[in-house]
Each structure stands twice: as structure tokens, then as C-alpha cells.
Amino acid sequence: MKTFKIFILCALCTFVAQAQKQYQLASPDGKLKTTITTGKQLTYDITFDGQQVLKASPLTMTLDNGEVWGENDKPSKASRKSVHEKVASPFYRADELPNIYNELTLQFKGFNVVFRAYDDGIAYRFVNRGKKPFKVVDEQVMYQFPNDAEASIPYVRKSNGYEAQFFNSFEAQYTNDKLSNLNKERLMFLPLIVKQENNVKVCITEVNLENYPGLYLKTNEKEGQLISEFAPYPKRVEQGGHNMLQMVVKEREDFIAKVDQPRSFPWRVAIVTNEDKDLAACDLGYVLAEPSRLEDISWIKPGKIAWDWWNNWNLDGVDFETGVNNPTYKAYIDFASKNGIEYVILDEGWAVNKKADLMQVVPEIDLEELVAYANSKNVGLVLWAGYHAFNRDMENVCRHYSEMGIKGFKVDFMDRDDQDMTAFNYRAAEMAAKYHLILDLHGTHKPAGLNRTYPNVLNFEGVFGLEQVKWGKPGEVDLITYDAMIPFIRQVSGPMDYTQGAMRNATMENYRACNSEPMSQGTRCHQLALYMILDSPFNMLCDTPSNYEREQECTDFISAVPTVWDETVVLEGKMGEYIITARRSGDTWYIGGITNWDARDLEFDLSFLGDKAYSGKLFKDGVNAHRIARDYKSEAVQAKKGDKMKIHLAPGGGFALVLK
């Protein structure tokens, strides 16, 4: 009898061994490794330089026919390849980017799972090979960490009820806490950071969010675990929300996505590094994206924009009442033309309010006259558009305003990332491209690769930007700390329309919210530095022309800073504390650095410079910037390759340096 039991046990072990199979995949440099296990459950883990940073974590997709991809599945084929190439990256932080990885594709019945290992991250995605339509009931995305690690996460905005969290603007400051202490009733949006031992950080994001709902994460009772949540597909929507420009979901389906044909699903990405500056330099959000679908991009013109809304259309010293009218916008156009600024935007107010009809222009605005005037000054005009107004008549709107001479749209208040809305972003990009229009997608989720697939989409919000100071109470809004976080988290997913450039600057003690005459937190040089720190190919100048004209030296610097780059180097950085970034355009280098509310001395070397002598100009915090935030000093500098530079930053401070 004992012999028989032993035989049964051995047989079971053999069956399990046969049913389960493991595959290893390593990054090109060998430091990052993942072990993929198939059989009863499809899982993967991650080790970094021998340290486990992610325990075996399951991945499944549940279909409406009851099928569960990733459970009790045996691959019929495994194939590998290695890629070492460079990809063009127009309108981004470099003119081209390395795309170097090892790949493993596991082929199952009807679907594949593809894994990629880069030197700075592990990514995977499901691929549907079947032609029969189906619905995705759920996708299981789980991150099981080896300990109760500290995380830096953005919660969705507070709302009444769990479901209401799916209606959000993807704007939030970061909460830093142990995974076990995070609010189990609150959803988190991506990207987010989980910190492991030895300063190893795992940044979780997703790429190729096309026609599929965005991923939220939440905690549960199990220590060290983050699990997925997706907005179900909208069943019934009603016009409402901000100025009747949104479509509010009133009822949802019992599935998250419709699938009508073979397709690839979004990449699930875990970026892993023990150097904070490498997070800020990571390009996986771009190289994992689908290549450009536009054959001709010669008409796409990035640049800076004179913005009206942040400064409340304020001008002083003029002989007309400012506001949404032609005289005001002609003054903005004059300012842009004089300072070499490429665009002026007409933000909310130019179209008749609460009509959701972009063909109804307010009587105070003569658009054709403004377009003609702007053209005569070599300035392009961009129009703000609410989501529903743009979506309901998209092609007519694009055709009409393109023919008039409008250069693009800033589309706002989507405030969702269910499948219906992510599909809209791609449709909008395609339609805008058809009529040679650029897009700035405001009120939306992280870029997730759309800017590579449709390069006419130059910028995205999905950031707790400078607009927050118009209403944010002292002690509740801390943009200085946030500024020292976003290059390492939010910016990993792509560019952001943060809208920097404030000329009214305040210390922590002197800051107050003001809608009509807003002020930034931190120093003047902090604002200047953000033009180098942040990726923003379509970049707002938030303040009023009157303030810029009083601060012409700073305005001259901002106007000269490019918005796209040939090369970007993150020199130094520590998440939440400081960062120094150098960017090259041609033979000219622009270098910016910021700190949090701690004053500090930063030293960096100039080994990245070319083999010539450079001269330039340095903007640094003034001696009294800790008391008067607008205080700064500019000075001429000389520099060469290998030199070291040391600069003192005031609390909330920064510096900006140009070398030619």
C-alpha cells in the first residue's frame, strides 16, 4: 500500500512538472530578468541585479464566452528575437531613440502573450489572433511585491461612490505611504511608483492604450499587492458636466471592452532602476508605442503658445476693456509676433456657452478677421474645444476651421478613459491629421504612446499643473514638491501640458490662491527651469503679455527655448527632491534645475558638452529669493567640457542656463 501511495505521489509530481513550464527572459545587459510560468496559472516575476522586486504575479483575460486566457493554458510554440535599432522620435526629447530589447512570444490557442525585456523595464501584452468578435469581461493585472513597500501614487479625485471614480481628470498630487496603508476604497491611476530595497524603484504604466480602457490599481487585504480595475463599457450616457460639454456615464455594461478583430492589447510596463535619474530619462513610453501612422509630418509645427485663460485675459495699459474679444486677442497676437512665439490660443469662451456647438461663435469674436491678422504677424491660432462639441461634429469642425486657417485644437474635458473615450482620442487624432490640425488633449489620461502613433498630437494634460494655483489653498496645494516628483513619474509616460511661465512668484509663506491675478509657488528661476525640465512640444506661456513685457529679460529667455530637442541628458536627480536636465538643440545646450522646498547647493559636471568653448547666460535665484520669490540674478558664463558648476538654489528654487 505504501508503495502504491508513493507511485501516485510521483505520478502527480510528474504531471505537475509536465503541466507547468518556465521560460526565462533577460534584458540585453543581463541585470533585469523575468521568469514566466505557464500551466495552471500564467505568471511572471522580475529580478533586478539578483534582487527580487516582483514576486510571481498572474495575468489573465476573461472573455464573455467563459474562456480565461492564462489559466490552464499550454503554449504550442515559443519564439524569441532580439532587436537593436533606433527609432525616429520627432517632436520629442531627442531626434531618435534606441530601441533595444529581447522578446519572448508564447503562442496559445487563439492568442499570444508577448514579453519584452529592456535594460530599464519588463513589458508584456496579450495579442488576439482570432477573427471572431468577443467581449472582454475583465483583465487581471496584478503586482505582487515581496514586502509591504512604500509607494508614491496618485489617487483619482474624491467622489461620491466607488463607480464615480471612473469620472476623473487624472490630476492629483502624490500620496507617499506603505502599500498596506493606502485607501482600499480609492482607485489609483498610472503611472505610479513602488519603492523596493536598495533604492530600487518600480514604475508601473501602460502603453498603446488604443480602443481599450485604462488601467487603475487598488490595494486589497493581501500585503504587498496591487490589483487591477477597469471602467466598464458605457451603456448609457447623457450630456452634462462642465458647461454641458461632457458625456456623463449613467449606466455601464458588464464588460470592459468590445473586440471585433485581431488586435494587440496595451503593454503592461514595469520600469525598474536603482538610479532615480534613469526613471526621468526612460523612453519606454515612446519606443513601445505603435509607429507613426502619418506618412507626411512636414506640416506639424511644435512651438510655444501665448495663453489667455490662466491670466484671465488681463492686460494693463491698453485703451480697451480686455476679455474675449478681438482687441484683446490682437494684443496677444502682437505680443507673440514680437517675441517669436508661434501660437496664440483662444481658450474657453470664444464659442457660445452651453451650446456644445463650435459653429456658434460669440458676437465679440470675428475669427476670420483674427486669422487674417495673425497670418500677417506670422502667428498661428489654436482653438479650445469641449469634448462633446468636438466629438458630435468632428469632421465638419475640422474641415471648417482648417479651411479658415486655424492651426489646431485644444480638446478638453474628456475626463474618462473607458474604451469609448480612448477610442475617441485616436479618432480625434486621425481626423485632425486629415485636415492638418495639431492637437493638445486636455482633460485626459496619460499619453500612453499616442504621440508617437499620431505625431500631430503634440501634448496632453493628465497633470496637476500650474492652473491649480488659481484656486488651490495654501497647505492643500504643493506644486513645488509635485514639480520635483513628476519628472520621475508622470513624465515617464510622455509630454505634459503643465503651463509654466508665471511672472508673479511667491514663497511658501506669501502664496495665496487668486483666479484673476494668479501667482506661482516657488521662485522665478524655478519657472524658467521648467522649460527644460518638462517635456512639452506644445508649450504654454501662462502669464499675461503685460507681465512678460515688464520682465523682458526672462521673456527673451523663454521665447528662445526650443520645445523639441536633438538630445536630452538627465544629469542628476532624486525623486521628490531635485533634478537637473540638459537638452541640446543643434549646438546649443539648455540646462535647468529645480529643488523642492529645501534650499540646496547643486553641483554638476559638463562632460556632455562638445569639444569647444561655450559662452552663455545663467539665471539663478537671487540672494533674497527665499523672501521675495521673483528675485533672480543673470550673469554671463564661460564653460567647456569637463568643467564643474555649483549653484545655490533657494527654497522652491531653480536655475536656467544656456550655453552656445
Per-residue model confidence as pLDDT tens digits over 321-372: 999 999 999 999 999 999 999 999 999 999 999 999 999 999 999 999 999 9
Does residue 19 surpass a pLDDT of 80? no
User: What is the reported pLDDT for 161?
Assistant: 83
Does 2 or 319 have the greater pLDDT score?
319
- Cα 474 from Cα 397, distance rounded (Å): 41
User: What is the reported pLDDT for 223?
Assistant: 85
Does residue 387 surpass a pLDDT of 80? yes
- Cα 498 from Cα 7, distance rounded (Å): 67
Q: What is the DSSP string of 389-458?
A: HHHHTHHHHHHHHHHHT--EEEEE-----SHHHHHHHHHHHHHHHHTT-EEEE-SS---TTHHHHSTTEE
Phi, then psi, of 512 in degrees rounded to 5: -150, 155
Q: What is the DSSP string of 261-297?
A: S-EEPPEEEEEEES-HHHHHH--HHHHTSPPP--S--
User: Which residues fall within 8 angstroms of residue 466, CB to CB, at 6 or more apart?
Assistant: 310, 479, 498, 499, 500, 502, 520, 542
CB neighbours (10 Å) of residue 469? 23
User: Which residues fall within 8 angstroms of residue 243, CB to CB, at 6 or more apart?
Assistant: 348, 353, 354, 386
SS (H, E, C) 313-372: CCCCCCCCCCCCCHHHHHHHHHHHHHCCCCEEEECCCCECCCCCCCCCECCCCCHHHHHH
- Cα 587 from Cα 594, distance rounded (Å): 24
β-pairing, 538-541 with 303-306?
parallel
CA distances from 110 to 131, 270, 557 (A): 9, 26, 56
Report the phi/psi class of residue 310: left, alpha or beta, with left for phi > 0 and alpha for psi in -120 to 50.
alpha
pLDDT tens track for 44-67: 999 999 999 999 999 999 999 999
CB neighbours (10 Å) of residue 434? 14
User: What is the reported pLDDT for 453?
Assistant: 98
β-pairing, 520-521 with 505-506?
parallel
Q: What is the DSSP string of 582-636?
A: EEEETTEEEEEEEE-SS-EEEEEE-TTS-SS-EEEEEEEE-TTTTTSTT-EEEEE
User: What is the reported pLDDT for 10?
Assistant: 44
Q: Give Cα 130 distance to the centre of its chain.
A: 32
pLDDT tens track for 228-255: 999 999 999 999 999 999 999 999 999 9
In one-letter notation, the amino acid at residue 646 is K
- Over residues 400-424, the mean pLDDT reads 98
Query: Is the preceding omega at residue 262 within 30 degrees of 0, hence cis?
Result: no
User: What is the residue whose three cell numbers read 461620491?
Assistant: 160
pLDDT tens track for 543-576: 999 999 999 999 999 999 999 999 999 999 999 9
Does residue 446 surpass a pLDDT of 50? yes
User: Which residues fall within 8 angstroms of residue 451, CB to CB, at 6 or more apart?
Assistant: 91, 92, 286, 289, 457, 458, 459, 460, 494, 495
Tell which residue, 289, 267, 292, 266, has the closest CA to residue 454: 292
Residue 188 per-residue DSSP state: B
User: What is the residue whose three cell numbers read 489654436?
Assistant: 382
User: Which residues fall within 8 angstroms of residue 66, CB to CB, at 6 or more apart?
Assistant: none
Burial-class residue 487 by CB neighbours within 10 Å (0-12, 13-18, 19+): buried
Q: What percent of the chain has pLDDT over 90?
A: 95
Tell which residue, 440, 433, 443, 367, has the closest CA to residue 406: 367
User: What is the reported pLDDT for 221?
Assistant: 79
- Over residues 194-205, the mean pLDDT reads 97
Does residue 12 surpass a pLDDT of 80? no
Burial-class residue 17 by CB neighbours within 10 Å (0-12, 13-18, 19+): exposed
pLDDT tens track for 143-177: 999 999 999 999 998 878 888 999 999 999 999 99
Tell which residue, 384, 374, 315, has the closest CA to residue 350: 384
- Over residues 91-97, the mean pLDDT reads 97
Does residue 297 surpass a pLDDT of 60? yes
Tell me the torsion sign for CA atoms 399, 404, 409, 411. negative
- Over residues 272-281, the mean pLDDT reads 98
C-alpha cell at 149: 513597500
Locate all alpha helices (DSSP H) within 20-92, ordered by sequence: none
Task: Write out the catalytic residue numbers.
Answer: 412, 467
User: What is the reported pLDDT for 11?
Assistant: 41
Phi, then psi, of 495 in degrees rounded to 5: -65, 165
C-beta separation of 594 from 653 below 8 A: yes
In one-letter notation, the amino acid at residue 500 is Q
- Cα 511 from Cα 479, distance rounded (Å): 11
- The residues with which 602 forms a beta bridge, in sequence order, are 647
- The residues with which 521 forms a beta bridge, in sequence order, are 506
Report the phi/psi class of residue 275: left, alpha or beta, with left for phi > 0 and alpha for psi in -120 to 50.
beta
- Cα 600 from Cα 578, distance rounded (Å): 9
